[in-house]
């Protein structure tokens, strides 16, 4: 799915989320593990400020294990609960129930003091388009669960998915919009495929990816395409075109096709586990150094 920019939709989505958040105890916020900050909208911090928060580093299978751990620590330091997951295979989902009970332990204790026993935690999933919300809901909820609410003849209400006796999930996720005014954020969103490719110059995007890989993931291009990484970055797309036999009429190298191959290889994980955004060094830590 790609996004289209209709400010009206964004305003409506935000208004709806504001209403939905009133109904829940816990916000499950999905971010893309390859770009954990660029793939979130910090407005959620204000919208969900009185709610427990679980951050899922989704698509963790596509990001570097080392940085996944560093990002998990980064968000934990901010007071959020964090789980690394691959919603597509279900990897990491098992630990979520326990973490949710822990994240909502104050609410559960509050209920207990009021004499309310076993009221399930109510949660909703939020995140930017394409981050994996539907995939997550489907694999987490599976097929075994029953939907509650919306009985025939009753005014349309909220649909809740009953996951177990302790947890109910709002069946429609909240959509957040990325802050893509920042150029670097926009570039990262384009790398992961969250901005329509037809409004992007793919060769320029591929060139930016080449520069990033040469600087931060040495050996990747050589391993995949047999390219000498000492080559001028501008020449690297030519090298990929050669190694993948991308030719135009007259035997000219088809760098546009090569750009597409590189971008696809990155997005599908063929280049390896690559994190594009690194955790910022927090001010307090710098002061101590």
58 binding ligand GDP? (CB under 6 A): yes
Q: Binding ligand GDP by CB under 6 A: which of 17, 27, 35, 62?
A: 62
Q: Is 61 a binder of ligand GDP (CB under 6 A)?
A: yes
What is the closest distance, in whole angstroms, from the C-beta atom of residue 175 to ligand GDP in the complex?
A: 8
Site string for ligand GDP, 117-156 (x = CB under 6 A): ----------x-xxxxxxx---------------------
Annotate the chain with DSSP letters as a single string.
Answer: ------HHHHHHHHHHHHHHHTT-SEEEEEEETTSTTTTS-THHHHHTTTSEEEEEEETGGGS-HHHHHHHHHHHHHTT-EEEE-BTTTTBTGGGHHHHHHHHTHHHHHHHHHTT--SPPEEEEEEE-TTSSHHHHHHHHHTTTPEEES--TTSPP---EEEEETTEEEESSPEE----TTSHHHHHHHHHTT-S-GGGS-HHHHHHHHHHHHHHHSTTHHHHHH---TTS-HHHHHHHHHHHTT-B-GGG-B-HHHHHHHHHHHHHTTTT-S---S-PPPPHHHHHH-
Shortest reach from residue 163's CB to ligand GDP, in Å: 18
203 burial class (0-12, 13-18, 19+ CB within 10 angstroms)?
middle
59 binds ligand GDP (CB under 6 A): yes
84 contributes a contact to ligand GDP by CB under 6 A: no
Q: Quick check: 255 binds ligand GDP (CB under 6 A)?
A: no
Q: How many residues bind ligand GDP (CB under 6 A)?
A: 16
Asked whether 77 and 227 are in contact (CB, 8 A), the reply is no
Smallest distance, ligand GDP to C-beta of residue 250, A = 37
Which region among 57-65, 111-119, 142-150, 220-228 touches ligand GDP (by CB under 6 A)? 57-65
Q: Work out whether 86 is an interface residue with ligand GDP (CB under 6 A).
A: yes
**Does the annotation list 269 as a binding residue?**
no
Q: How far is the CB of 115 from ligand GDP (least distance, A)?
A: 39
Quick check: 4 binds ligand GDP (CB under 6 A)? no
* Under rule CB under 6 A, residue 172 binds ligand GDP: no
With binding defined as CB under 6 A, does residue 88 bind ligand GDP? Answer: yes
Q: Is 272 in the site for ligand GDP (CB under 6 A)?
A: no
58 is in an annotated binding site: yes
Per-residue CA distances from 237 to 3, 247, 255, 261 (Å):
28, 12, 6, 10
The reply on whether position 87 binds ligand GDP by CB under 6 A is: yes
Name the residue whose CB lies closest to ligand GDP.
132
Q: Is there a contact between 120 and 166 (Cβ–Cβ < 8 Å)?
A: yes
Nearer Cβ to ligand GDP (89/164): 89
* 154 annotated to bind ligand: no
Which residue, 191, 222, 181, 174, is CA-closest to 18? 174
- Residues annotated as binding site? 58-61, 86-87, 130-135, 174
Residue ranges binding ligand GDP (CB under 6 A): 1, 58-59, 61-62, 86-88, 127, 129-135
- Residues annotated as binding site for GTP? 58-61, 86-87, 130-135, 174
């Amino acid at each position: 799915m790609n996004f289209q920019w209709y400010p009206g939709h964004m305003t409506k989505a935000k208004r709806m989320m504001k209403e939905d958040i009133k109904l829940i105890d816990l916000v499950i916020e999905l971010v893309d593990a390859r770009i954990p900050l660029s793939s979130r909208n910090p407005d959620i911090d204000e919208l969900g400020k009185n709610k427990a928060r679980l951050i899922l580093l989704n698509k963790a299978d596509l990001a570097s294990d080392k940085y996944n751990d560093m990002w998990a620590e980064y968000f934990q330091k901010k007071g959020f609960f964090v789980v690394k997951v691959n919603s597509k295979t279900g990897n990491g989902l098992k630990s979520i129930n326990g973490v949710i009970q822990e994240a909502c332990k104050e609410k559960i204790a509050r209920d207990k003091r009021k004499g309310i026993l076993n009221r399930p935690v109510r949660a909703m999933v939020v995140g930017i388009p394409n981050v994996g919300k539907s995939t997550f809901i489907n694999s987490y909820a599976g097929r075994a669960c029953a939907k509650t609410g919306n009985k025939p003849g009753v005014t349309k209400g909220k649909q809740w998915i009953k996951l177990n006796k302790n947890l109910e999930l709002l069946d429609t996720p909240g959509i957040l919009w990325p802050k893509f005014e920042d150029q670097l954020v926009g570039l990262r969103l384009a790398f992961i495929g969250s901005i329509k490719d037809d409004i992007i110059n793919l060769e320029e995007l591929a060139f930016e990816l080449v520069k990033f890989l040469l600087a931060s993931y040495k050996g990747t291009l050589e391993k995949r395409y047999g390219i000498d990484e000492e080559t001028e970055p501008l020449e690297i797309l030519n090298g990929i075109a050669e190694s993948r036999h991308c030719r135009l009429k007259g035997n000219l190298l088809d760098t546009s096709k090569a750009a597409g191959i590189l971008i696809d290889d990155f997005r599908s994980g063929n280049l390896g586990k690559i994190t594009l955004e690194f955790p910022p060094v927090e001010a307090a830590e710098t002061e101590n150094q």
